[in-house]
Amino acid sequence: MSNVSVYAFRNRITGMMNIGVKSADGEDILTYITSLNNEEFWEQYSKGLMEKSILFFGESKHEDLAKTIEWFALKYGISTKPEKFYLTKNNAHCVNEKLLTKEIKQIVIDYINGGSGIEVPDSCAEDKNIILSIDRNIQERKYQVFEMDTKIVHEYFRNQVRTDEYDPAHVSKIVTGMHEQPDEARKVFGPVIVVIKEDGSYWILDGSNRIKAAMKMFKNKKGWATVPVILLNCTEFGSTEKQRQNNYDLFGMLQNKRKFEVKKENSKEDLKRNINNFIVSEGLDLSKPTHVERARTLIYDRFLMVCESKSQLNGVLVSILNDFQKERHEMRYQKNLITYDDGFFSDYLWNKYEQHDIAAVSTTQSKAKYAEVLGWVFRRMQTVDAKKGAIILYYSSKAELVNDEQEKWIDKLKETIKFNNLPITVEVLPAFE
């Protein structure tokens, strides 16, 4: 169906206006801008200063009315507020002034005097009303919820709206919650939404990740033999199969929409900070195994309600313990570390290695992790065409020294070189005088 509209633009800052008419001729009349040839208008439009409104919207048979509205708007506007119009002359055509009702004239006059025009018809209003009505009925628990066999529901078809049918990481997260907080998981496990199509087939519209998680729990004999399900008739989604299918997708996307929350979710660092403060307030000494176990028990009891799982809390506690141990070890080293600068390495690498045709690189202890520095020395050997190489490591902080004591990355690097019979030497410079 062709349409016609009377549009209006107003500058948000100056209040300058432009009013015109647009008939459908292959263009979307609601996204059409204007045919006005005015540099000032287009400059301000390009800066995002022009706000569009609609004064009239109708079918193509109303074109004479639309043209008359344009004429009346410019006639009234230019005569009452000439300084507020980009046009200085009314070039519009009055087809039949008798077509103008008092209501239409009032809309135009109100706009010119600062009003907002009319609401534009929403082409998707019917479908959105359908989807929002179904969603509202779910939220208000107007549909009956059935406890159905997990295996049967798991076999239902999926109405795919996501890129992937399910997210393994998200499913794993749900399973963890089910395992560690079974009672709470049952409370918050939203019903799987299923539509029964005209051919009698069952399709999951929302809940693919949840049913996957429930099936994993069932297979591992952790319960969840049944899941809550809401069954919807396909006729609720529209009168035609095309409309229904589009609405199945829209409904699924609506259910996947991130819920608005004012507060940001607790991060690992948020938990770590609060748990650490709690440990201190309880007077627990993490150097004592009995105190560590006491801390673990108290943390589970106190903080499980504000995070996802015990495994998350355990990860936070491990991080706190690691920090505690590193701090203790660092305190053993009271002396200042030796500082090695670029000038030192330039002389040292040349005098001890490279003048003897041994390609050499220097870096901190942390680069020994996973033998990362091996790639560097290989490239250096290729660059200088050397058959032998040398890696010179130093400690840039006490934390690196402690880390190497615990993780033994330098020893592991040496073992890798020895196992592969590589012509590479590893030298560790002293940390202290």
Most confident of 157-161, 236-240, 291-295, 313-317: 236-240
pLDDT more than 90, % of the chain:
47
231: pLDDT strictly greater than 50: yes
| Mean pLDDT computed over 41-64 | 88
Which of 13-17, 250-254, 419-423 has the weakest average pLDDT? 250-254
pLDDT at 318: 87
For residue 331, is pLDDT > 70?
no
pLDDT at 322: 81
The pLDDT score that the predictor gives to residue 329 is 65
Q: What is the pLDDT of residues 130-148, one digit of tens each?
A: 988 999 999 999 999 999 9
Q: Burial code of 278-304, b = ≥16 C-beta within 10 A, e = fewer?
A: ebeeeebebeeeeebeebeeebeeebb
- pLDDT, one tens digit per residue, over 61-99 is 999 999 999 999 999 999 999 999 999 999 999 999 999
Span 378-389, average pLDDT: 93
CA distance 200 to 241: 14
The candidate with the shortest Cα–Cα distance to 111, out of 59, 82, 74, 62, is 74
Per-residue pLDDT at 262 exceeds 70: no
Q: What's the pLDDT at 85?
A: 96
- Radius of gyration in angstroms for the set of CA atoms belonging to the chain, rounded to a whole number: 36
Average pLDDT over residues 265-284: 81
Q: What is the mean pLDDT of residues 335-351?
A: 87
256, two tokens: 């996947």
Q: How far is CA 282 from the centre of its chain?
A: 38
pLDDT at 27 over 60: no
Label residue 1 by pLDDT band (50, 70, 90): very low
Of 325, 344, 395, which Cα lies nearest the Cα of 365?
A: 395
Return the closest-CA partner of residue 117 out of 43, 17, 45, 13. Answer: 17
Q: What is the pLDDT of residue 167?
A: 82
Mean pLDDT of the chain: 87
The single-letter code of the amino acid at 96 is N
Give the pLDDT confidence score for residue 48 in this predicted structure: 79
Segment 254-267 mean pLDDT: 64
User: What share of the chain has pLDDT > 70, as a percent?
Assistant: 91
Q: Which helix (H) or strand (E) holds 228?
A: strand 226-233
Q: Where is 390: in which H helix or E strand?
A: strand 388-394
pLDDT at 363 over 60: yes
Quote the pLDDT of residue 64: 95
